[in-house]
Amino acid sequence: MMELCDVINQCGERLFSEKEKPDDPRMVISFGELFAIYTAISDKVVGILLRARKYKFVDFEGECLFQRRDDHVPIILLRPIKEIRQILNDRINEAMKAIKESEAGENFS
C-alpha cells in the first residue's frame, strides 16, 4: 500500500491549487495513469487500491475498477504521504512487538 500511495503522491497532481485550498494536501491521478505506472511494480493494482480505500488512504467512485473502462476515474490520495507512512510504520512496529512478545512467552513455557 505504501508504494501505491507513494506513486500517487509522486505522479499525481494536487486536487486543488495552492490558491484555491492551501491546506488541502490531497493528490489525484487517473486510474489509467496509475495502472500504467504501477503495473511495473505489481499486477495487483486494483486489489491494493481496494485495501488502501478500506484504510481510508484513497478514495474513488465505484466498487471495483477495470482497465480501459475506468481509465478516466480519479483516484484521490486522502492524507499527506508523511501521515500514511507513519500509520503504516506504526502498524509494522506493533506487529513486530506482538511477535517478539509471543516468542518470549513461548520461551518461558
Give the pLDDT confidence score for residue 30 in this predicted structure.
98
Report the run of H or E that residue 58 belongs to, with start and end: strand 58-59
Sign of CA dihedral 9, 12, 15, 16: positive
Q: What is the pLDDT of residue 14?
A: 94
pLDDT (0 to 100) of residue 85: 97
Instruction: Check residues 17 and 51 and name the one with the higher pLDDT.
Output: 51
| Phi/psi of residue 12, nearest 5 degrees | -85, -175
Average pLDDT over residues 65-90: 97
Judged by phi (left if over 0) then psi (alpha if -120 to 50, else beta), residue 12 lies in beta
On the question of pLDDT at 109 being above 60, the answer is no
> Which amino acid belongs to residue 81?
I
- At 22 the pLDDT is 87
Instruction: Provide the pLDDT for residue 50.
Output: 96
Q: What is the layout of strands, in order, in the sheet containing 27-30?
A: 13-14, 27-30, 74-77, 58-59
pLDDT at 108 (0 to 100): 62
In order of their start, the domains of the chain are 2-80 (1.10.10.1540)
60, 73 in Cβ contact below 8 A?
A: yes
Q: What pTM was computed for the model?
A: 0.86
Reading phi first (left if > 0) and then psi (alpha if -120 to 50, else beta), residue 68 is in left
